[in-house]
Each structure stands twice: as structure tokens, then as C-alpha cells.
């Protein structure tokens, strides 16, 4: 069986291009320039320069379509730079590259900050580069203290809020892993959800059992209702997780069958003439990539 060669999405060598040769694919509004995200990008470029190259695609006349990096370009212009390192894409579908961009999760960012601190980089410089308060950088030193390694592994690439980690620290390792699994299964990483899971944790699974007795401020019937609802959610999430693999296999087989049908010209002609709505839905299912991720 011959293997189809995989084409690289970008040329391997980056080049330096003038910013006036870049054609933006979206506008940078004043509201976006006032956002925390833009200020962070600007602070980073001001302090350490451009870290991540821009993604571009060549056009006629020596111009380049800017696929990814609009905020970085705006920040570069604001600090007075006229050139930037760019990666040349082999295709112009900008949305594809945006989809594949990996955003740094809080735990990964924490490891990067700790690595910089251990290398002797001053806290003030790290804070300035990331547009953060020095206190926030100091807090990162103890962010994962009290959290078991298994939980760190589960949540290392997830958008977990710092407050969520603070709530997880209040329970013992076994319960930490249960809470982390529920967060991943539900796709919800908010501090509010983590707080609710901690609230229904039995006292013997809390790090400080003595303090836990002072926690409830709600009426007993309200607390009982909350515990029941969250327990039901836990049960539902676990049931979904257990049946997920079976459902994926069934859907994959069904999609394969539909793909085989649509490769039959007679079937496609019949559907086109008599059941156009079915053909549209079958094509949508075959073209979907949700099962491939």
C-alpha cells in the first residue's frame, strides 16, 4: 500500500520581510488594541522582541498575505520596527493555521516562568515581558504546591484558572484526581465548578478537616440540594465517559458506510433526483472531521 506523502504546511526556513509588504486579512480595531491580550503582546515585543514568527503566503507583486500574527504586526509598528521574521506557508487557508495554534495553558506557562526564574531572570523583567504584576510572578512559584503529579499531568494543557487550582489544593490527592477527571470530562475548568465539587467533598477527604466544619453558610436543605445536583452531574459525566468509545466506533462505522455509498455513482444520482435532502446530510456527515480529532 502506497503512503501518501505529507506536505509541509510551511517552508522550513523563515525570511525577514518589511511590514509594508504584508496584506492583513482582518482589521485591528481600537477596542482590540485596548484589550489585555494586545497589551501583553506589546509588552512582550517591547521587552524581548518578536518570539513567534508571522505566518504569510506569497501574492503577486511581491506582497504577502498575512495569515496569522495581526496583533504582533500592530505591536511591531507601534514600537517602530519595520521588518519581521516570517514563515512562508504552502497554502493560503489562514483559518487552518489559526485552528492549529497552541495557546499556552496556565500550567505550561507556570513551568516556563519557573524555568526563567531558576535561570536567574529577574522577576521584574519577566513581569514586564508578560505584562503581569510582579506579585503574579511570585505567586507562580507556589502555584502547583499541594497538587499531586497525576492531576498536573491531566490538566497541564487545559485552560485551568489559577483559582481553580487553589480550590483543588483543599482536597486530598485521591479526591484531586476525581475532580480533575470531572473537569476534563465536562470541559469546564472554572473556579466556580471546582468550588462546587470541593463543597460536596466528604470531610475526611479534605486537607484540613477542622476548617471544613466552618465552611457551610447555606441552609442545610440548600446544601443538600446542591450536593444532590453535583452528584447527579458526576454520575452523568462518568456514564458519558464510559459509553463514549462505543459511540465513536459506531459513528465511525456509519460514516464509512455512507462514504462508500457516496462513491457509488448510481446511488448519488438517485439521491440527487429523489432525496436531495438526504444527500446533503450524508455529505455533511462524511465531510465532518469531528471524529478525527
Q: Is there a domain that residue 243 lies in?
A: no
Q: Are 91 and 25 spatial neighbours (Cβ–Cβ below 8 Å)?
A: no
Q: What pLDDT was estimated at residue 195? A: 86
Q: What is the 3-state secondary structure (H, E, C) of 7-46?
A: CCCECCCCEEEEHHHEECCCCCCHHHHCCHHHHHHHHHHH
Q: What pLDDT was estimated at residue 83? A: 92
Q: Are 200 and 222 spatial neighbours (Cβ–Cβ below 8 Å)?
A: no
Pick the closest to residue 154 from 182, 125, 114 (CA basis).
182
For the cut 90, the answer to whether the pLDDT of residue 18 exceeds it is yes
For the cut 90, the answer to whether the pLDDT of residue 73 exceeds it is yes
pLDDT band of residue 91 (cuts 50, 70, 90) is low
Averaged confidence pLDDT in the chain = 77
Q: Are 163 and 189 spatial neighbours (Cβ–Cβ below 8 Å)?
A: no
Give the mean pLDDT of 186-195: 82
pLDDT digits (tens, 9 = 90+) for 97-112: 444 444 556 787 777 7
Pick the closest to residue 69 from 121, 17, 30 (CA basis).
17
pLDDT band of residue 291 (cuts 50, 70, 90) is low
Q: What pLDDT was estimated at residue 94? A: 45
Considering the chain, what percentage of its residues have pLDDT values greater than 70? 74
23 strand-pairing partners: 65
Q: Is there a domain that residue 197 lies in?
A: no
Q: How many domains does the chain have?
A: 3
Q: Are 279 and 268 spatial neighbours (Cβ–Cβ below 8 Å)?
A: yes
Same domain for 52 and 92, yes or no, is yes
Give the mean pLDDT of 233-262: 73
DSSP string spanning the chain?
-PPPPPPPSB-SS-EEEEGGGEE-SS---HHHHTSHHHHHHHHHHHHH---SPEEEEE-GGG-EEEEE-HHHHHHHHHTT--EEEEEEBSS--HHHHHHH--PPPHHHHHHHHHHHHHTT--HHHHHHHHT--HHHHHHHTTTTTT--HHHHHHHTTS---HHHHHHHTTB-HHHHHHHHHHHHHHT---HHHHHHHHHTS-GGGBS-HHHHTT---S-HHHHHHHHHHHHHHHHHHHHHHHHHHHHHHHHHHHHHHHHHHHT-HHHHHHHHHH-HHHHHHHHHHHH--GGG-
For the cut 80, the answer to whether the pLDDT of residue 229 exceeds it is no
pLDDT band of residue 171 (cuts 50, 70, 90) is very high
Dist. CA 106–CA 61, nearest whole Å: 42
Query: Lowest-confidence range among 6-20, 108-122, 163-177, 230-244?
Result: 230-244
Q: What pLDDT was estimated at residue 168? A: 93
Same domain for 19 and 67, yes or no, is yes
Classify residue 285 as exposed, middle or buried by CB count within 10 Å of its CB (0-12, 13-18, 19+).
middle
Final residue belonging to a domain, choices 128, 143, 158 = 143
Final residue belonging to a domain, choices 117, 143, 169 = 143
Q: What pLDDT was estimated at residue 176? A: 93
Q: Is there a domain that residue 186 lies in?
A: no
Give the mean pLDDT of 181-206: 84
Higher pLDDT, 17 or 89: 17
CATH number at residue 38: 3.90.1530.10
Same domain for 52 and 89, yes or no, is yes
For the cut 90, the answer to whether the pLDDT of residue 19 exceeds it is yes
Parent domain of 285 = 248-292
Same domain for 19 and 42, yes or no, is yes
Amino acid at each position: 500500500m502506497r503512503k501518501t506523502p505529507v506536505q509541509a504546511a510551511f517552508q522550513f526556513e523563515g525570511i525577514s520581510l518589511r511590514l509594508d509588504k504584508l496584506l492583513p486579512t482582518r482589521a485591528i480595531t481600537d477596542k482590540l488594541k485596548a484589550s489585555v491580550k494586545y497589551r501583553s503582546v506589546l509588552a512582550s515585543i517591547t521587552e524581548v522582541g518578536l518570539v513567534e514568527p508571522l505566518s504569510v503566503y506569497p501574492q503577486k507583486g511581491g506582497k504577502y498575505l498575512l495569515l496569522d500574527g495581526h496583533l504582533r504586526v500592530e505591536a511591531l509598528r507601534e514600537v517602530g520596527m519595520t521588518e519581521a521574521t516570517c514563515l512562508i506557508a504552502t497554502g493560503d487557508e489562514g483559518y487552518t493555521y489559526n485552528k492549529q495554534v497552541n495557546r499556552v495553558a496556565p500550567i505550561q506557562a507556570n513551568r516556563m516562568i519557573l524555568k526563567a526564574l531558576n535561570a536567574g531572570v529577574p522577576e521584574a523583567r519577566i513581569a514586564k515581558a508578560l505584562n503581569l504584576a510582579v506579585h503574579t510572578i511570585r505567586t507562580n512559584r507556589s502555584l502547583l504546591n499541594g497538587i499531586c503529579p497525576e492531576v498536573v499531568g491531566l490538566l497541564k494543557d487545559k485552560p485551568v484558572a489559577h483559582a481553580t487550582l487553589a480550590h483543588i489544593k483543599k482536597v486530598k490527592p485521591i479526591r484531586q484526581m476525581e475532580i480533575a477527571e470531572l473537569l476534563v470530562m465536562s470541559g469546564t475548568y472554572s473556579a466556580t465548578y471546582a468550588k462546587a465539587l470541593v463543597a460536596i467533598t466528604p470531610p475526611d477527604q479534605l486537607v484540613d478537616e477542622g476548617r471544613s466544619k466552618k465552611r457551610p453558610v447555606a441552609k442545610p436543605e440548600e446544601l443538600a440540594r446542591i450536593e444532590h445536583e453535583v452528584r447527579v452531574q458526576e454520575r452523568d459525566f462518568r456514564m458519558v465517559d464510559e459509553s463514549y468509545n462505543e459511540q465513536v466506533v459506531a459513528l465511525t462505522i456509519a460514516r464509512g458506510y455512507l462514504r462508500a455509498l457516496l462513491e457509488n455513482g448510481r446511488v448519488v444520482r438517485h439521491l440527487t433526483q429523489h432525496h436531495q435532502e438526504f444527500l446533503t446530510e450524508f455529505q455533511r456527515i462524511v465531510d465532518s472531521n469531528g471524529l478525527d480529532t
